[in-house]
Structure 1
């Protein structure tokens, strides 16, 4: 897509105030937000999406849409997904823990947490039956829960506080080690367990100079090579009134934290190389790479939208269809170059589900509008997809732009420009 001149962009920005709301009924520019694959089944992949979820069952060759309405999470954006080897998909939305037992066609909220808000979900690196969930509802006592049967039942651990629990992480190289972050106002909490959550150590935090007023502590990652190395993020106010997002690193199991990256672009997530020597930090607009002993540097791509996930020696990153024509790409050289895998214009319709399932019944009527907004053709409704879990062959190629969608590209750009303006003001979006 050719970008307009500066003068045209200014005009479009003015027009966008009136048009963006009608183009994006759910608000904001449509983008991918996270990447997940099914353990042991790399052909099964899932993308968090601002209008629900996108699922591929053939190694990213074809992607289909699961609408947010069928998932039932409303305005709450899933924090992360876990796709278990047996086929079940779980996600923590910030409000509920959702589960699909039929490959994404039907989603049900867990009743184990009652009025608690499920803020974070983490899985054991090798034991598929062991999962952890943290709750994070303000002004109530929150807990960390553990499941030993793949999320079928949940039991609270001994850790509970009158604070918002923001993230739980399991150390990949020593899964008996757990970390949990939280906050209450300007009080920051970091907890550590060395026995898989049976007992906990409270790690009081003394933040680096300049971050005394930091808030919103959240764990980002634990090194795959060393359980004592972890990363977290905090937010703070700049002298000009903006928001500074700072990545902190600990090399002593969370007892002390050191600033390693600070910038004003809201953080999305991060990942770490298998040897722990290279890290990638994704923000709304950039992907940063930091090698051991070196400062973080922004990579040339993606721009406008980023998320990052490492699987083996391959990086997967979100990108912006509206800026560089791809919404998912992979890299085998640590992010120096990227192979595009998917553009939002290539969505092939609603996820293929049996008649009577929520996705089939609720998403199908919504697809023509979304297809027009994305600039893809509207295919006829697929036949009955059979029973849940049954393998369905991919639909044939043929997703070109419709004649009625050609004028949407400038409006999408308008929405992007407006969103970037809001980012400059330091207004974070939910993740």
Structure 2
């Protein structure tokens, strides 16, 4: 049935152009404000989506207002005080007014900010890693919620790809990095004051692996962590391998391999179940068992655990939801939100970048998504004879999704390859 619907949609949709960052528009990560679950944010192909009412309604923050250019954020930290921060791979962006205005931190100048990590209980304590090739990179610590930053003693001429704080032992930090085909984990047991280098050597099919990246640390055991590496298959395609360490990063064992780029992963509170999201699939691995691919989400995925509930990105264009939650470890999903339900531009005061830059862009995006064009939004940017499209019945064969037709089939077939080229930094 799904294949029939896809072919039908391709046959009836027009060849209009999609004005999106990378083809299909999708959600890419989910976060909620610490201590304020009513405030939620999703990374989106064309900026971000924000809800201030526990997910009842979602509104758009355009990329133009955020000013990140081609360095698209993939995850965010929303502090209890209200500030939102994100590492783009080039800059550390911050919003002090709930997403209406954004500015890059001046603390890092020409350094490329690749990763941001939060302390599990102390909102004021943050870590940032830089990762510009062919220069000396550092790990920075902030003790005032990101207002000021000081370098830790860790300094290497290597690309630092990700920093993580062990949830069950917050003095334990891990950092991943690489220089050419030399790959490292760095470990600190005193909040970054001293460090142990853990060079990683791979054999067999992974002997030429590259681009090591730390994914997650177990919430229950600071010695258990997961990383991923990239490698070439025998036919030249890129493979992505997830590896697990049970000894604090000294040795790594492969647990999942595929040709679909990884997005992120999360782990249950007891550390016994892990979930891995890729661009097209969703996997669950229980203790003592191999990872299994679950039926949903497919075509687009991300995962975040909040307490005992999982939140996942999905694809509006394939199964009609862009965000869902699961209370049974991903076996079944309750749809929460579709991109067709975006309510307009994030409500911001006059004079803010979101109000000034996003308002005129909204009618065009609404038409592409098949979302309602709110009467409160001016009709700038939409031709006079063009009306807001009705919502689709399922596959997107309405005026609002017509722009997806020329790219849909190619995206579904070659998505991994194209996205790997467009977003080499996997968060």
**TM-score (structure 2 length as normaliser):** 0.92
CA 1:402–1:367: 2 relative to 1, 3 Å: farther
CA 1:327–1:7: 2 relative to 1, 3 Å: closer
CA 1:241–1:8: 2 relative to 1, 3 Å: farther
Structure 1 gaps of 5+ residues are: 384-397
Partner of residue 49, structure 1: 44
2:411 to 399, 408, 419: 419
**2:94 equivalent to 1:102:** no
Comparing 315-324 with 411-420, greater Cα deviation is found at: 411-420
CA positional deviation for 1:27: 3.1
Instruction: Check conservation: 2:125, 2:145, Cα contact below 8 A.
Output: yes
CA 1:248–1:25: 2 relative to 1, 3 Å: closer
**2:157 equivalent to 1:162:** yes
Comparing 23-32 with 70-79, greater Cα deviation is found at: 23-32
Instruction: Check conservation: 2:294, 2:331, Cα contact below 8 A.
Output: yes
**What aligned pairs does 1:346-385 form with structure 2 within 5 A after superposition?**
346-381=341-376
Instruction: Check conservation: 1:243, 1:426, Cα contact below 8 A.
Output: no
**What aligned pairs does 1:284-323 form with structure 2 within 5 A after superposition?**
284-323=279-318
CA positional deviation for 1:299: 0.8
Comparing 305-314 with 415-424, greater Cα deviation is found at: 415-424
CA 1:5–1:54: 2 relative to 1, 3 Å: closer
**TM-score (structure 1 length as normaliser):** 0.91
1:206 to 194, 201, 206: 201
Partner of residue 387, structure 1: none
CA positional deviation for 1:407: 3.5
CA 1:420–1:375: 2 relative to 1, 3 Å: same
Q: Return the alpha-carbon distance in structure 1 between the equivalents of residues 146 and 296 of structure 2.
A: 37
Q: Deviations over 1:382-419 (max 9, x none)?
A: 69xxxxxxxxxxxxxx9953999813545425423222
2:111 to 109, 116, 119: 116
Corresponding pairs, count? 412
Q: Return the alpha-carbon distance in structure 1 between the equivalents of residues 403 and 112 of structure 2.
A: 36
**What aligned pairs does 1:23-422 form with structure 2 within 5 A after superposition?**
23-381=18-376, 401=391, 406-409=398-401, 411-422=403-414
Report the aligned-residue RMSD: 2.3
Q: Deviations over 1:57-116 (max 9, x none)?
A: 011100000000000001111132100000000000111000000000000100000000
CA positional deviation for 1:10: 7.7
Structure 2 gaps of 5+ residues are: 379-387
Q: Return the alpha-carbon distance in structure 2 between the equivalents of residues 420 and 305 of structure 1.
A: 10
